[in-house]
Each structure stands twice: as structure tokens, then as C-alpha cells.
Amino acid sequence: MLPGEQMDSATCKRVSDLLARVGDKWTLLVVGSLGAGPLRFNALRRQIGDISQKMLATTLRNLERDGMINRHVLPVTPPQVEYTLTGFGCEFLRPASAFADWAAQNAHRIEHARASFDRQHRDVPPA
């Protein structure tokens, strides 16, 4: 994008769509975890901590559909399924990490802004 030029409305909408997908409660956690290497379903689940079985399955399916991860079923019993980032998924991890870095470095500023805002507006609220 040219400096000074902001996103046009149509582009912004598509971006917003993707951001909504990726900005959901779990997607970034999953992609981040897989960024360190392949993981199986339950390993992934333990790594993330408090994700429900349902949401992990849904998130993984969406990421697979979007071409970000590969699902590899090992023909053993009991079955094992290994998830890995695709090349596309790795590419995605770059701007995501840049964004993540900014967020991590500025989180305290946001918290401060919130505290300040709340302080100035905690008046007259209830009876």
C-alpha cells in the first residue's frame, strides 16, 4: 500500500473478513503453536490449555480449509493425526507475528489508556 493512502472500502472489507476469521478466540493460538513444529490433536490441545474439543476441531478444520495447515492421518491404531503449517501458513505467520510483536509491545499502553478512560468516566453511573 502506498504511504499516506489508506485502504479503500472494498479491500478493507475483505481484510476485515480475514481478520475476523483469524481474530477469533483460537485461530492465532493454534497457528502460533504449530509455528514451532507439527503437533497432534491432543498435544495441541494441551499446549493451548483451555480450548474445548469442539472449538479445536472447528478451528483446525477452518485452517485446513483456508490452506494454512495440513492434516496427516497416520494409519495406526489408535489413529494419530498430525497437523503441520503449510507454506502458506508459514507465510501468514510473518505479518501475523509483526502484528503480534506490535501488540505485545504496546499492550501496556492500551491497558494504561483503558485505566485512564475508566477513571475519568467512573461518575454518575448508577444511583
Partner DNA sequence: CAGTATCCTTTCCGATACTG
Partner DNA sequence: CAGTATCGGAAAGGATACTG
> Residues in the site for its own copies, rule: CB under 8 A?
1, 6-7, 9, 11-16, 18-20, 22-26, 28-29, 32-33, 35-36, 47-49, 64-67, 88, 91-104, 106-107, 109-110, 112-114, 116-118
Query: Which residue type is seen at 68?
Result: M
- When CB distances are held under 5 to 8 angstroms depending on the partner's kind, the choice from its own copies, DNA, none that residue 104 binds is its own copies
Task: Decide: helix, strand or coil at residue 69.
Answer: strand
C-alpha cell at 127: 444511583
- Which of 55, 66, 70, 84 binds DNA (CB under 7 A)? It is 55
C-alpha cell at 119: 477513571
Contact range with DNA by CB under 7 A, out of 30-38, 74-82, 92-100, 108-116 = 74-82
Query: Mask 11-50, x = binds DNA (CB under 7 A)?
Result: -------------xx--------------xxxx-------
CA distance 112 to 116: 6
Cα dist from 6 to 9, 16, 76, 85, 99, whole Å: 9, 14, 52, 31, 17
Sequence-separated (6 or more) residues with CB below 8 Å from residue 44: 30, 33, 34, 56, 60, 83
- When CB distances are held under 5 to 8 angstroms depending on the partner's kind, the choice from its own copies, DNA, none that residue 79 binds is DNA
Q: Which residues of the chain form contacts with DNA (CB under 7 A)?
A: 24-25, 40-43, 51-55, 57, 60-61, 71, 78-82
